Amino acid sequence: MSQHLGNPGHARASVADGAWRRPAARSLLVAPLRNARELIPSLAPVILIAVSQRGMAYWLLLLVVILPVLLAVLRWWTTTYRVTGDQFQVRHGVFRKHLLTAQLDRIRTVDAEASLLRRLLRIVDLRVGTGAHEDVALHGIDAGQGAELHRVLLARRRSASAEAGASADASGPGGAAEPGGAAEPGESFEPGDAFASGPGAPGERTVAAFTPAWLRFAPFTMTGVATALTAWAIGARIVNEFKLGDTIGPWIERARDATAEFSRAWLIVELLLGTVIAVSVLSLVAYALANWGYRLTRRDDATLHVRRGLLTSRAVTIEEARLRGVVVEQPLFLRVPRGARAKALVTGGGRGDDHGSRSSHLLMPPAPVAVVRDAVADILDTDRPLRTGLVRHGVRASRRRYSRALLAVAPCAAALAGAAWWWGWPGWTAAGAVVILALVPALASIRARWLGHALCGDPHQLTGPDAGYLVAAEGAFPHQHHCLRTRAIIGWVMHESFFQRRAGLVTLEATVATSTGHVRILDVPKSRAVQVIRAATPHLMDEFLDPAGRP
């Protein structure tokens, strides 16, 4: 039986016509590169044999080149997709056929990503998520088709959600605990935005935009440290796998001889200075690659759009109806230049987070704290959750900050002191143990000062300037300031450890249908926790309390 295959480049053809379509043929220019990256672990032994042997070397190297290209052609030829009346379907498989389907009324995310080469070829990679175990992925489709596919899938999803919402409203107030809840589509990368250039679409207002001055925050993030550690681990693995120790050994000996005349202290200072410079440069590069061209906008269709990326462009769409709150984060080092970042608390994240889209919750990259707070106030239509004074948790909660900090660093300090005494390590190791212990009061004081919670607004209002918010602040690595809409709370969990019970404290968690699952208030007095529950969610806990209001 023959089936019509739509032309992906035809401007008049609609992706909703039910015809099977293939990815763009020009995706074959980049697909072999992706296949080669996937096949590297399997082809590594072949490459080693080709390098060490002479007879079959050229044939093996030719196989390494041909196999990714052949696999790319077969995958392109056997991959088709279409949109029917109620499903999005993808067929793929070379030797074993697969048919992946996603019900249109269950689609939560439509994520797209385009590297620099894909942007030049005007193709994108799409991932359609339904919250199920496996997302439906498409690689190398035409950018125009991807933008239309994005609109069609989410438009039909919104239509289905509206019908479901009307049914829920007709059934009474019982379904109002989580308005919009998991029935709303998740954040999405809009392919059209990934290639947009200019001030924005009609009806679009800029909330925040990247400026080169933001690069000063890059060295105070941990991105450079993570990049340096990753590069060091990869380099060590390459040296070990390819037996390069004998090759680089003479270089190490030569460097050791050249620095023999310098004092050890001077070498340590130079090494630390070089490390700081290298990490700072890596942080600047990583920050620029991830956030160059960042722009946060609001549109008349009640959506937030985040666009960012220098080489790999990412575009995220968040429906304001699904926004349940915002988290303002200030890592300890980022507070030095007065910086912060913000993330969205949204419903319907599904399993997209497992595929690396947790960063799609990002609203603001590291930026001036005043700019971040203004953007959050614009998004929430009020700055009340940010300026409301926090209720402190008392002396017992502060005391736990000191004891927990001491328990965290004491083993490290003891190990350094023991090594200095038992194995005769240099005296500066023992001094390091003393310095670590001396930092405990300062860090504990910071964590105690940043611990608190508050309630503001009308708990019956979900959106608008009068919406009710639960504010929870804690931590120093990073410090997190949660602003959660109280109407989004669907339950409460109260944790109480042995030591918390002796101190009369609990950890209160507000359950919410987001990717994080909850917002917690750490080490709050139990009586105050009950007051928070009753004030934030009136009548939700009445049946679980005795006449005196105790749990």
The CA distance from 229 to 225, in Å, is 6
The pLDDT of residue 479: 92
Q: Say which residue, 478 or 428, is predicted with more confidence.
A: 478
User: What is the model's pLDDT at position 171?
Assistant: 43
Distance CA 70, CA 9 (A): 23
Residue 316 has pLDDT above 70, yes or no: yes
Q: Counting every residue, how long is the chain?
A: 551
Distant-in-sequence, close-in-space partners of 443: CB < 8 Å, separation ≥ 6 = 405, 476
Work out the number of other CB atoms within 10 angstroms of the CB of residue 452.
20
Is the confidence at residue 477, as pLDDT, over 70? yes
Using the predicted structure, report yes or no on whether residue 10 has a pLDDT greater than 60: no
Cα 49 to Cα 259: distance, rounded to the nearest angstrom: 39
Distance CA 290, CA 308 (A): 7
Structure tokens at 460: 């019956």
Give the CA distances from residue 344 to residues 97, 322, 483, in Å, rounded to whole numbers and listed in that order: 39, 10, 10
Q: Which of 134-143, 165-174, 297-306, 467-476 has the lowest mean pLDDT?
A: 165-174
Residue 81, pLDDT score? 92
Q: Give the per-residue pLDDT at 156.
A: 67
- Average the pLDDT over 113-135 and give the result: 79
> How many whole angstroms separate alpha carbon 85 and alpha carbon 153?
11
Cα distances from 109 to residues 135, 157, 188, 238, 297, in angstroms, run 9, 10, 5, 38, 19
Average pLDDT, the chain: 79
pLDDT at 355 over 60: no
CA angle 40, 42, 46 (to 5 degrees): 90
> Residue 297: exposed, middle, or buried by beta-carbon count in 10 A (0-12, 13-18, 19+)?
buried
From CA 96, how far away is CA 495, in angstroms rounded? 49
For CA atoms 304, 322, 312, 231, give the dihedral sign: positive
Q: How far apart are CA 382 and CA 220, in angstroms?
A: 29
| Residue 79: predicted pLDDT | 92
As a whole number of angstroms, the distance between CA 188 and CA 129 comes to 10
Cβ(280)–Cβ(224) under 8 Å? yes
Of the chain, the end-to-end C-alpha distance in Å amounts to: 67
Q: DSSP state, 131?
A: S
Beta bridge partners of 493: 509
pLDDT digit string (tens) for 127-159?
787 656 677 888 888 888 888 887 788 776 666
The DSSP output letter for 134 is S
Which pLDDT value is given to residue 80?
A: 92
Instruction: Using pLDDT thresholds of 50, 70 and 90, give the confidence band for residue 245.
Output: low
Question: CA 44 to CA 39: how far, in whole Å?
Answer: 8
Burial class (CB in 10 A: 0-12, 13-18, 19+), 291: buried
Do residues 451 and 473 make contact, with C-beta atoms less than 8 angstroms apart? Answer: yes
Chain center to CA of 322: 17
Amino acid at 495: H
107 and 130 Cβ atoms separated by less than 8 Å: yes
Q: What is the pLDDT of residues 184-222, one digit of tens each?
A: 334 444 444 444 444 455 578 999 999 999 999 999 988
pLDDT at 522 over 80: yes
Residue pointed to by tokens 């143990």: 433
Strand-by-strand arrangement of the 491-495 sheet: 491-495, 505-511, 518-525
Q: How confident is the model at residue 548 (pLDDT cuts 50, 70, 90)?
A: low
